[in-house]
Each structure stands twice: as C-alpha cells, then as structure tokens.
Structure 1
C-alpha cells in the first residue's frame, strides 16, 4: 500500500534561503511556487533562482508549481526545470483538461504531475482531467474555486466538489486528493477541524502555506489511538481464524479487514508524527 503525502507546503520560488528550511518543517512534500507567491516582474528571476538552487542536487527533493498554461512563463518554466534531478514533480495551477499536461508529461520524463483544480470548468471536466498522462494527484484550490464559482464559504458550500474530487481520483486510480489551504494562520483549532473535515470526506492531504501548519495537518491524518487499537484487534482476530469472527460484538468481513489493514499501514508509514 502506497501512503500519499499528507502535508504539502508551499514556499516562494524567489526565496531560496527558505527551500531547505521548508523541508526541515516536517512537510511530506515541499512545493516551490512560481505562480501566486511570485510577483510578475520577479517570475524570470525566480525561475533562475530555483534552477541555481536545484541544479546541484542529485536526488529529487522538491515539487515545482509552474505558472499556468495561459501565461507567457509556462513553457519556459517547464523547459527550464522539468529535467532537473532535484525536481521530484511538477504542479500545474488552473488545470482543466487532460491535454493541458501533454507537454509537461513529455518534459518531465516520468516524474509525477499534480493538478490544481481551481475553476468551475475543471470540476465539470474531472472525468477527462483525471486521464491526463503522468497525473498522480489532484489538489483542490479552494480559494480560487470559490472566487470563480461565486461561492462564499469553504465548508458545506463546496463539499459537493470535495466528493467529486475523491470519487474521480478513486475511479482513476490516483492518490487520495489534497484539500485546499486554511488561510487563518493564527487559529490552530480551526486548522485541525478543517483537516479532520477533509480526512472524513476521503482526502489524503492538505495544502499548507506556513510551516506552523505542517505538524497539525500531519497529526490530523494519522489514525487515532482508538482506531489503531480496533484495527490491531481486528487483524489479530482474523489471523488463522475459520468461519465467522466478531470484534466488539460485530461480525468481521473483508471490507472491515481491509479498512483495519489500511489503518495500520497508515499508522506505520507515518510513525514519526504519531499523536
């Protein structure tokens, strides 16, 4: 079982001194951002900064969010950065269709691609988008989507869209999708609630915009102690058993066993962030 990254932390592409600091935060993935975090007159310089910082790396460490397909910077971003050994993958903002990824897939030479779903068109076109070559995961750009859809609110107001991302990801064999950012950096309780909300909807991770959010997100995607205890007892009960088996008075069938194994696999994979 492959466990998808939980915390995906953005760092500005023109701040090279923050790249390794972001990795030290404990984030599962660090995304160096050439899009929203960089002003238009800094785009080219930021691309050069990323190239200089990553060119000497011998192993992939960072995902890079390139500028969107409809900008003058997109093609040069992909051409200049995709082949670097320090680049672990590319993220495309405002992705809307599978064909958006054709050139990126060729340039990335097998590196995973990430799609940011941020527009109404993308949501209505998910069945096509998830067939993009090289696509590994969807992320929900909630703030941009709300603006595009004219929706005021990021919980129940857009839970229908969350469900669509989960179902289409599952159908296409992609990793569980990543939920959008929580913009209030001072409210840890709200962040924990937001992350738990995403987890219960079937998301496997959450976008972060500050290192202080990473630990809370990582912990929220871990199984609770009670879940681990239950899963341990389920797996122990069916080991070598014949016929019907019950745990806590409930019969255990294959879907329940599969869920128990997923709980234990997730707990084991991220044991350094146990709560």
Structure 2
C-alpha cells in the first residue's frame, strides 16, 4: 500500500475546512467525527461529511469515527453507504483502540457498508489509533485483528489521552514516548505492517520542536505523522521524505537485485555492499515514501 507521510485533520463541524484541506499539500486527510465534534453536533457533522463526499474528493481521505464503546460508530459509517468519494475514501481511523474487539466490531460493520455502497469487499481499511497504555500493551493483537488493518498510529500529543494515561512529562526530546513509540513499531512490524503514523503536535508556533519530534519519530521507525494545521505539513514532509540520494540508491539497489534474481542469484553486490531481501524491503519502503511526494 501507499505510505502517506502526512494525514491532515479537518473537523467535520467546519464544512469549509473539509473543502479547503483538499487544496493543501498533505498526502491524505482525516475527516473527523470524534474529538473535534461535540455530542450535540454529531448529526450535523455527519451531514457535512456526506455533502463533501458527494461533491467529490481530490485527496485520499480517512474518516475518524467514534470508538464502538464510546459513540454511535454505525451512524458515522452510514455516511459512507452512498458510495460517494470513490476510491479516494481509503477507510477509517479507529480512535482509542484498546483491543482486538474494537477492530472486529468496526470490520464487521464495514462489510455491510461495502455491500451497500457497491465498493469492493475488503476495500475499506482500518488505521487504529492507540491512545491508552492498554492499547499499547495490545498493539500486536490489534494489528493482527483483521486483514483490514493498514497500519498503526500512536496518539503522541503533548497533553493528549495517551500522555495523560501514561503520566509522563512531554518534552521535544520525547523521552517519555521513547518506549511507547518503539514498542508500537516493533509490534506492528512483527504483525507485518509498514505504515506507522505518529500523532499530532499541538504547538503551532514552535516549528523547531515539531522538526525535532518528527526526526525522533522517523529515527524510531515511523514513516509519517498526523497534522492539525496545514502549516505543519511542509516540515513533516521534509523530515519523512527520502532524499534524492536515498531514492537514487534505492532504485539502483532494486535494479541490481532484480538483475541478479533473473540470473538465479539470491544476494548480489551493489556499490561494495552485499544486498539481500532485507535491503530490498528497505528500498521498496523508501520508494513508497518517495511516491507519496
């Protein structure tokens, strides 16, 4: 699958932002029906999303629904039943994902949504967003709960749900998040997932701290980040995008490996380095991220 570097939130209570976000630089969008929408505005927000989908999407979009334990997620998913938005509707963000049961409840409902909307079976994916220590503990089980799981995301915001649950103290160096991020990456990779998304950064004025946090997340294995404002996207893209040199190296490595493979050689020498399947996976990941650019 395509590895999106940035996912920009657009609150469904603001129809003008649902439209404006599509003209920005973010790789993909999140139309939000959860935390940014008060309980008494949920129905209006769902109508806004439905109208935005009917008008057509210019970017890939994930719908952040309410958790099955916390809200009317079926009403959220009902906005997808008309089939509007086409292939640009990639799936849903599942917030506060604590265990496999959360995933399975949403996956079952997505089957009905696909059947009603004429979408191909299994075409709507689920990106779980871990926001509690329990969810982090269960990351591997969540990641393996359904074939619809396309990646994993960690709610790493400074004063967000996960940090409050953890009881840690956030800093730009993110020491409190070093283990949570690493555990998520290891568990998700063990489950066969490659799209690891870091959470939002709340301070819109501190660009350097944003850059620092992005660099730490990338170093630990994340390939993208969620954004709450369009002004954050350029920094995120700069950090999470492969350089021209990295892309050129990956292309050359893959070409050398495929040539050797055609000759029946499982490991080849490329620029003085022995190359095998592990190098190929890294090169393919690099080019997937480059493709998002």
**Contact 2:103–2:145 under 8 Å retained in 1:** yes
1:232–1:129 Cα change, 3 Å: closer
Residue 11 of structure 1, CA deviation = 0.6
Counterpart position of 2:197:
178
Q: Distance in 2 between matches of 1:179 and 1:264?
A: 18
| 2:215 partner SS | helix
Count residues in correspondence: 267
Where do residues 86-235 of structure 1 align in structure 2 (5 Å cutoff)?
86=85, 87-109=89-111, 110=122, 111-133=124-146, 134-142=148-156, 143-153=160-170, 155-228=174-247, 230-231=249-250, 234=253
Q: Counterparts of 2:289 and 2:27 in 1: how far apart (Å)?
A: 15
CA contact (8 A) 1:82 1:90 kept: no
What CA deviation, in whole Å up to 9, does each residue of 1:67-104 have, x standing for no partner? 222234333223x2243422431111101111112232
Encode CA deviations 1:169-207: one digit per residue, 9 max, x unaligned: 112222321001111111222222211211111111101
Instruction: Assess if the C-alpha contact under 8 Å between 1:34 and 1:43 holds in 2.
Output: yes
Distance 1:132 1:244 in 2: 37
1:231-255 Cα distance to aligned partner (Å, 9 max, x none): 46656776867997463xx532326
TM-score (norm 2): 0.80
2:280 is aligned to 258
Of stretches 231-240 and 31-40 in structure 1, the one that deviates more from structure 2 is: 231-240
2:8 alignment counterpart? 9
Task: Indicate the SS of the match to 1:96.
Answer: coil
User: Structure 1 residue 226: deviation in Å?
Assistant: 4.1
Q: Which moved more, 1:135-144 or 1:227-236?
A: 227-236
- For residue 160 of structure 1, give the secondary structure of its aligned residue in structure 2: helix
User: Is 2:103–2:142's contact at 8 Å kept on the other side of the alignment?
Assistant: no
5+ residue gaps in structure 2? 112-121
